Structure 1
Amino acid sequence: MSKPDIRIGDTEREEALKALGEHMSAGRLELDEYGDRTAMVTTAKTRRDLLALFADLPEPHPRFGEVARPAAAPVEARPESAQIARRLVNALVPLTGLVCVLLFFTVLKTPLVFLLVPIVAVLVGSLTGDQHGRDRDRRRRR
């Protein structure tokens, strides 16, 4: 608590709301006063703002621990079948291009057959999302 002007986050606000709830259930705060103080908790910006709400109250007060850094998400190992399925789905777009060329020169003599390529690309993209981009970003973070 040596730095009262440090900005607070949701964790600190939740802790303060919990402490105020304990004071209300102990009879130290009336319902109206509890409502006023909880409203001030939600608009508090710094530790000083929160501590001022507890100046006339005994423990419990909010405790300000070190800001926890988010842990790196573990990289999930995909099952072999999922990797094979993903590769097959990703191969659909180039395969569709080849099929369109074959259809154009053999059966369908219209260039409209090539519209199948963007249609398949959109469908595959909607199914897989930006998985390639996510994998690339995951490798960069390592």
Structure 2
Amino acid sequence: MTEYQRGNIRVSDTEREDALGKLGQHMSEGRLDIEEYGERTAKVATAKTRADVLALFDDLPEPRPAFGQPNPPAVVRPRRAQVSRQLTPLVPVLGIVLLIGLTIVLKVPFFFFMLPFIFFMVQSGRWGHHHRR
């Protein structure tokens, strides 16, 4: 059995955070009361080795710290920035449609108020040009 498997390797801050999160899960599921949770989190904060941390999970089921094992792949969700970047080119188009509709319904030339905005968008290169990062 290697030192890695025995847990004699010093624990990292990231591994401590993982253990704290998993203790929090056990508390929220009712396996630990607030006092036990406080005691164990204090011990995680002062733990020197992986074995010190693993000992705090001896009487608990999964989840447990999985030192050195890759985390399962995260579910990829579109970020708001990506979605808003995709919708940004639609804003001027929807604005123009709205102003044309108001011009027709109210018989007031609202469309002409939009011309400076359209000119600015075309000149600045923002209309229809998507910059991918």
| TM-score of the aligned structures, taking structure 2 as reference length | 0.48
| TM-score of the aligned structures, taking structure 1 as reference length | 0.45
Flag the structure with higher helix content. 1
